[in-house]
């Protein structure tokens, strides 16, 4: 009841009155959330029963999951939320977000995965494998966006991509309000380790993911809270499977001159020489400390995704090409590219509780600046507020408030300066990408920056050339005119880096190294 009314006020009286209205209703909202607390009690009882069952050797089955789901729905009926529930893939409980512009997103409670993000025209922007096996929640859906925690990739002892995407997340009834909630449609999920998980990885934490949908923009904020008195070490990534028309016509910009670790060559370190990354074979790379914005340009669809990642320094680019994968259809690789934001350093939370890497005010002003700049682009917006500190950075043991610690302050200031630079604030370039950031996917006549583009081609018209008309080094060349990949240059400071942060697990994680989460 509240949300339609709030929207009505918003339309009729404008944003300020809408905010006022929401403020007035704050206490009512709290009351409405109460049934959820009761729900959680009931869920805990079920969880205990499940624990007992698993001790007896029984596995959690779909019927139990469905009972939980129905119970959950009945509680939800008692309250209004800024989203609604639908049946997701394999009938799993799924949060449905929509916004007045007509775009929508779906978030699965199982795995905390964003399984769909559709634009105003109803076109799917996220990739979904055609060959999901459906045998478990983990395999019922391959693609979308998920959080890899407490480890991404195979970089540690905790199993491929950590375990967070195979767990059942709960709705968080006490969102942290760390993120600006301009979007009327958002949800926050929370994952806490069960007793079973703790047996495998003896760490206590809370992993939250805040997903909000705006016009042409999906914002994902993962947050990690150390609820232990011991330090918590982890790596993390937001794994984005983007849907593209044809991988051969895609290029990724924003990675030039950055060093990367090549997962296909035992993480050997190279420097990116090309102006843009194009694909003509398998790619699996971790680009280190990249700039904040990365553009994924789909020439055939004339569509640009902008991945903006704050707080997560690295970017992973992956396409398996023709490699056989059990959960990928034969030609699925042509329609996807993963560009993930990640922290490949081992991050360490030293103290119990939350602290922010970015001061909230900085974050908010950066956000609005960015939103203004890319009004209608599809921006995936990952902001990672973690409970610090990365190995290799000054160790901060008592910074419960970022402003109170001079070292942390210094770090913020440096970071803000770099961010300013990387966002090109001083350079007055409005739209550096060849296709307009307003993504008119249906229009074949996109142009920008004075470049004239050729018309869109269809799949049947394979002989059409999509090369950029420019001729400088790095100008886009379509698959018909692409020259073999550039000779890669080994990074100058490879040895230094290897000694520095990637090869050395920190002592805390070594002590937990005997534990393995299998997947």
Ligand X SMILES: O=P(O)(O)OC[C@H]1O[C@@H](O)[C@H](O)[C@@H](O)[C@@H]1O
Of the candidates 488, 486, 517, 491, the one whose C-alpha atom is nearest the C-alpha of residue 502 is: 491
**Binding track over 232-271 against ligand X, x by CB under 6 A:** -------x-----------------------x--------
Q: Could you give the maximum distance between any two Cα atoms of the chain, in Å?
A: 68
- Binds ligand X by CB under 6 A, chosen from 166, 340, 366, 491: 340
CB atoms within 10 A of CB 511: 13
Structure tokens at 278: 């194009």
Of the candidates 422, 385, 384, the one whose C-alpha atom is nearest the C-alpha of residue 294 is: 422
Provide the minimum distance between the beta carbon of 142 and ligand X in the complex, in angstroms, as a whole number: 6
Q: Does 295 bind ligand X (CB under 6 A)?
A: no
Q: Does 318 bind ligand X (CB under 6 A)?
A: yes
CB atoms within 10 A of CB 143: 28
Q: Does 390 bind ligand X (CB under 6 A)?
A: no
How far apart are the C-alpha atoms of 112 and 154, rounded to whole Å? 20
**Binding track over 122-161 against ligand X, x by CB under 6 A:** -------------------------------x-------x
The smaller minimum CB distance to ligand X, of residues 153 and 156, is found at 153
What are the residues whose beta carbons fall under 8 Å from the beta carbon of 321, sequence distance 6 or more?
279, 281, 282, 283, 333
**Binding track over 200-239 against ligand X, x by CB under 6 A:** ---------------------------------------x
Q: Which residue carries 């060349």 as its tokens?
A: 477
The smaller minimum CB distance to ligand X, of residues 159 and 424, is found at 159
The smaller minimum CB distance to ligand X, of residues 226 and 235, is found at 235
By CB under 6 A, how many residues form the interface with ligand X? Answer: 9
The smaller minimum CB distance to ligand X, of residues 6 and 517, is found at 517
Whole-angstrom Cα Rg for the chain: 23
Provide the minimum distance between the beta carbon of 463 and ligand X in the complex, in angstroms, as a whole number: 32
Q: What is the DSSP letter of 245?
A: S
Distance of CA 507 to the CA centre of its chain: 28
Phi, psi dihedral angles at 24 (to 5 degrees): -60, -35
- Binds ligand X by CB under 6 A, chosen from 295, 316, 349, 357: 316
The smaller minimum CB distance to ligand X, of residues 131 and 230, is found at 131
The smaller minimum CB distance to ligand X, of residues 153 and 446, is found at 153
Phi, psi dihedral angles at 382 (to 5 degrees): -100, 120
The smaller minimum CB distance to ligand X, of residues 140 and 340, is found at 340
- Binds ligand X by CB under 6 A, chosen from 188, 284, 332, 382: 284
Provide the minimum distance between the beta carbon of 276 and ligand X in the complex, in angstroms, as a whole number: 19
Q: What long-range pairs does 257-261 form, CB within 8 A, spacing at least 24?
A: 258/287, 258/288, 258/289, 258/290, 258/291, 259/287, 259/288, 259/289, 259/491, 259/493, 259/497, 260/285, 260/286, 260/287, 260/288, 261/285, 261/286, 261/288, 261/344, 261/502
Provide the minimum distance between the beta carbon of 159 and ligand X in the complex, in angstroms, as a whole number: 10
CB atoms within 10 A of CB 239: 22
**Binding track over 441-470 against ligand X, x by CB under 6 A:** ------------------------------
The smaller minimum CB distance to ligand X, of residues 128 and 225, is found at 128
Contact residues toward ligand X (CB under 6 A) are: 153, 161, 239, 263, 284, 316, 318, 338, 340
């Amino acid at each position: 009841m509240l949300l339609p009314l709030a929207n009505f006020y918003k339309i009729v009286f404008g944003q300020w009155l809408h905010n006022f209205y929401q403020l007035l209703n704050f206490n009512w909202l709290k009351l409405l959330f109460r049934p959820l607390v009761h729900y959680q009690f009931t869920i805990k009882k079920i969880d205990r029963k499940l624990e007992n069952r698993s001790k007896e050797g029984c596995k959690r089955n779909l019927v139990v999951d469905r009972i939980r789901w129905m119970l959950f729905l009945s509680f939800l009926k008692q309250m209004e939320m800024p989203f609604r529930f639908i049946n997701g893939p394999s009938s799993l409980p799924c949060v449905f977000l929509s916004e007045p512009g007509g775009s929508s997103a779906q978030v699965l409670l199982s795995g905390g995965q964003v399984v769909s993000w559709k634009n105003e025209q109803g076109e799917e922007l996220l990739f979904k494998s055609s060959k999901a096996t459906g045998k478990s929640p983990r395999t019922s859906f391959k693609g979308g966006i998920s959080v890899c925690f407490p480890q991404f990739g195979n970089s540690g002892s905790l199993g491929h991509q950590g375990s967070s995407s195979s767990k059942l997340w709960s709705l968080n009834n006490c969102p942290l309000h760390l993120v600006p909630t301009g979007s009327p449609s958002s949800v926050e999920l929370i994952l806490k380790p069960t007793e079973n998980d703790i047996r495998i990885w003896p760490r206590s934490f809370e992993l939250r993911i805040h997903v909000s949908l705006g016009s042409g923009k999906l914002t994902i904020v993962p947050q990690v809270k150390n609820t232990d008195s011991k330090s918590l070490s982890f790596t993390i990534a937001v794994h984005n499977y983007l849907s593209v028309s044809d991988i051969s016509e895609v290029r990724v910009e924003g990675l030039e001159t950055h060093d990367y670790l090549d997962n296909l060559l035992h993480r050997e370190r190279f420097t990116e020489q090309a102006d843009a990354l194009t694909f003509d074979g398998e790619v699996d790379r971790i680009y280190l400390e990249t700039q904040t914005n990365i553009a994924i340009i789909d020439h055939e669809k004339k569509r640009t995704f902008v991945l903006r990642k704050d707080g997560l320094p690295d970017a992973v680019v992956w396409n398996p090409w023709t490699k056989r994968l059990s959960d990928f259809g034969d030609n699925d690789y042509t329609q996807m590219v993963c560009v993930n934001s990640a922290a490949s350093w081992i991050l360490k939370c030293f103290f119990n509780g939350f602290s922010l890497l970015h001061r909230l005010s900085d974050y908010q002003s950066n956000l609005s600046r960015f939103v203004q700049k890319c009004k209608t682009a599809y921006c995936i917006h990952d902001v990672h507020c973690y409970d610090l500190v990365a190995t290799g950075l000054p160790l901060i043991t008592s910074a419960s408030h970022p402003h109170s610690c001079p070292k942390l302050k210094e770090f913020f200031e440096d970071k803000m300066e770099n961010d300013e630079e990387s966002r090109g604030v001083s350079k007055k370039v409005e739209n550096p990408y060849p296709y307009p950031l307003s993504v008119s996917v249906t229009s074949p006549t996109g142009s920008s920056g004075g470049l004239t583009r050729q018309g869109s081609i269809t799949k049947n018209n394979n002989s059409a050339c999509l090369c950029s008309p420019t001729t400088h080094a790095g100008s886009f060349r379509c698959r018909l005119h692409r020259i073999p990949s550039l000779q890669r240059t080994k990074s100058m400071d490879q040895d230094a880096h290897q000694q520095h942060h990637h090869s050395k697990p920190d002592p805390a994680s070594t002590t937990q190294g005997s534990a393995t989460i299998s997947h």
